[in-house]
C-alpha cells in the first residue's frame, strides 16, 4: 500500500521543517509514502528548507516529488496539483504549518486491516490554540466509530459533528478521482464545499480515537488575515452558501435531510453576516447575500416548516439586531436544536 501525502507550500519557513520532519519520522512498516510538495511560488525560504531536508534524507520508504507552480495559484490549486500527480492507493493532506503525530499512518494502516471497506479514515486533530479535539464527541468512549450509512454520514456532516477540513483524512484515491473531488480555485474556506461533496458521495467513514494531527494557529495564514482578505472572504461565503443551497443532499435519487441542510446553510449565513458587520461589504456582494437570505427563508416557507421559517426571520432587520447581543448568540445553537426537533 502507498499513501500519497500532499503538502502545499507557501510562506511557511517557520513551520515547514517540523511539518516535513513529522512525515519522515513515520514508521512505514508494510507500506510506503509518496510525499508531494507543491511549491506555490513561495517568496520566502520555505523551499530552501524543503530541498535541504530532502537532500539529507537517508531512508528508502519515502519518495519525494517537488512540483512548482509557475505563478501563485492558491491552496486549492496546489492541492489539485497534488491530487493529479499522486499515484498512491490513499491520499492524505497536510497543511504545511501543521504536523502529524508519530505512527499516524501505521495506526491508520492497522485500522484498514480491520475495516478494509472504509473509504475515509480520520483521527482526532488537536487545535494548539484552543486546546480542543476535532472529533472527540464521536470517539468519547475511546473506540473507533464506524459510519457506514450515507444518510447518517451526511446527518453528522450537516450537524458539524465530524470534521470539515480536508486535512487529517486518509482517503481512498479512487474515490477522489472517480467523483472528480477537486477543490474550487480562488475560494477561501474551500474545505467546506470540498468535504461536503466528499461526505455526499462516500458510503463509509471510520473515525478513530487516536490523536493524529496537530493544527497550528498560523497568524500569517489566509484565514487569520481577515481585514486584508475581507472582500475575498465575503465573496467566498456567498459562493459557499449559494453552492450549498443548490446542492441539497440526495440519497438513492431522493432529496433528504431538509431541515438539517437548511440549518447547515444558516450556520454559514450567520458567519457571513458577522463578517459584513465587522468589515463591511461592497454593494454587489451585499445584494447577493440578501438574495440568498431570502432564498433560504422562502425555501422553509415553501416546505411548510413554520418553526424553521420563524427562526430564519432572525436573519432580517430588525430581528437581526438581536444577534449582536452576546446572550442571544450564546443561546443560538440550543435554539436551533429545538427548531430542528420541532421541524
Q: State pTM to two decimals.
A: 0.93
Per the domain annotation, does 140 fall within a domain? yes
pLDDT tens digits, one per residue of 249-268: 999 899 999 999 999 999 99
How confident is the model over 143-160, as a mean pLDDT? 95
Q: Are 52 and 39 in contact (CB under 8 A)?
A: no
Together in a domain, 283 and 168:
no
pLDDT tens digits, one per residue of 219-233: 665 555 555 578 888
Together in a domain, 236 and 105:
no
Together in a domain, 101 and 177:
yes
Give the pLDDT score at 228: 58
Per the domain annotation, does 335 fall within a domain? yes
Chain-centre distance for alpha carbon 20: 21
Task: For the chain, give the mean pLDDT.
Answer: 92
Together in a domain, 184 and 145:
yes
Give the pLDDT score at 53: 97
For the cut 70, the answer to whether the pLDDT of residue 136 exceeds it is: no
Together in a domain, 200 and 326:
no
Per the domain annotation, does 220 fall within a domain? no
For the cut 70, the answer to whether the pLDDT of residue 102 exceeds it is: yes
Q: How confident is the model at residue 100 (pLDDT cuts 50, 70, 90)?
A: very high
C-alpha cell at 273: 453576516
Q: How confident is the model at residue 29 (pLDDT cuts 50, 70, 90)?
A: confident
Q: What is the CATH number of the domain that holds 25?
A: 3.90.550.10
For the cut 70, the answer to whether the pLDDT of residue 319 exceeds it is: yes
Compute the half-sphere exposure of residue 254: CA atoms within 13 Å on the CB side of its CA: 6
Per the domain annotation, does 190 fall within a domain? yes
Give the pLDDT score at 300: 97
Segments of the chain assigned E as strands? 2-9, 32-39, 62-68, 90-93, 99-100, 120-127, 132-133, 145-147, 169-172, 205-215, 250-251, 254-255
Together in a domain, 275 and 303:
yes
Together in a domain, 259 and 317:
yes
End-to-end CA distance of the chain: 46
Per the domain annotation, does 88 fall within a domain? yes
Give the pLDDT score at 127: 86
Q: Note down the domain range covering 202.
A: 2-215
Domain count, the chain: 2
Lowest mean pLDDT of 44-48, 148-152, 156-160, 319-323, name the range.
319-323
C-alpha cell at 52: 535541504
Give the pLDDT score at 118: 96
Q: Which of 82, 85, 89, 68 is nearest to 7 (CA)?
A: 82
How confident is the model over 7-16, as a mean pLDDT? 96
Together in a domain, 273 and 204:
no
Together in a domain, 256 and 288:
yes
Give the pLDDT score at 343: 86
Amino acid at each position: 500500500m502507498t499513501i500519497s501525502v500532499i503538502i502545499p507550500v507557501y510562506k511557511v519557513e517557520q513551520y515547514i521543517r517540523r511539518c516535513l520532519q513529522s512525515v519522515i519520522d513515520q514508521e512505514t512498516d508494510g507500506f510506503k509514502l509518496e510525499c508531494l510538495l507543491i511549491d506555490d511560488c513561495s517568496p520566502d525560504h520555505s523551499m530552501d528548507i524543503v530541498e535541504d531536508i530532502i537532500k539529507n534524507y537517508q531512508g528508502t520508504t519515502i519518495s519525494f516529488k517537488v512540483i512548482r507552480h509557475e505563478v501563485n495559484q492558491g491552496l486549492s490549486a496546489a492541492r489539485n496539483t497534488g491530487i493529479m500527480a499522486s499515484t498512491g492507493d490513499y491520499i492524505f493532506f497536510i497543511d504545511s504549518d501543521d504536523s502529524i503525530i508519530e505512527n499516524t499512518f501505521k495506526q491508520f494502516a492497522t485500522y484498514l486491516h480491520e475495516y478494509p471497506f472504509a473509504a475515509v479514515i480520520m483521527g482526532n486533530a488537536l487545535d494548539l490554540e484552543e486546546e480542543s479535539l476535532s472529533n472527540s464527541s464521536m470517539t468519547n468512549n475511546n473506540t473507533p466509530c464506524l459510519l457506514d450509512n450515507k444518510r447518517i454520514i451526511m446527518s453528522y456532516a450537516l450537524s458539524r459533528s465530524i470534521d470539515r477540513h480536508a486535512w487529517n483524512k486518509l482517503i481512498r484515491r479512487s474515490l477522489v478521482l472517480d467523483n472528480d473531488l477537486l477543490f474550487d480555485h480562488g475560494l477561501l474556506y474551500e474545505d467546506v464545499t470540498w468535504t461536503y461533496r466528499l461526505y455526499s458521495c462516500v458510503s463509509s467513514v471510520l473515525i478513530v480515537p487516536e490523536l493524529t494531527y496537530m493544527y497550528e494557529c498560523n497568524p500569517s495564514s489566509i484565514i487569520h488575515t481577515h481585514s486584508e482578505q475581507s472582500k475575498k472572504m465575503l465573496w467566498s461565503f456567498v459562493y459557499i452558501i449559494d453552492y450549498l443551497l443548490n446542492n441539497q443532499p440526495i440519497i438513492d435519487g431522493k432529496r433528504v435531510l431538509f431541515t438539517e441542510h437548511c440549518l447547515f446553510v444558516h450556520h454559514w449565513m450567520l458567519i457571513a453576516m458577522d463578517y459584513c458587520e465587522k468589515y463591511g461589504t461592497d454593494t454587489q456582494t451585499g445584494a447577493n447575500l440578501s438574495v440568498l437570505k431570502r432564498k433560504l427563508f422562502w425555501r422553509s416557507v415553501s416546505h411548510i416548516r413554520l418553526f424553521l421559517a420563524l427562526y430564519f426571520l432572525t436573519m432580517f432587520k430588525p430581528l437581526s439586531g438581536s444577534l449582536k447581543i452576546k446572550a442571544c448568540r450564546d443561546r443560538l445553537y440550543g435554539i436551533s436544536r429545538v427548531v430542528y426537533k420541532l421541524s
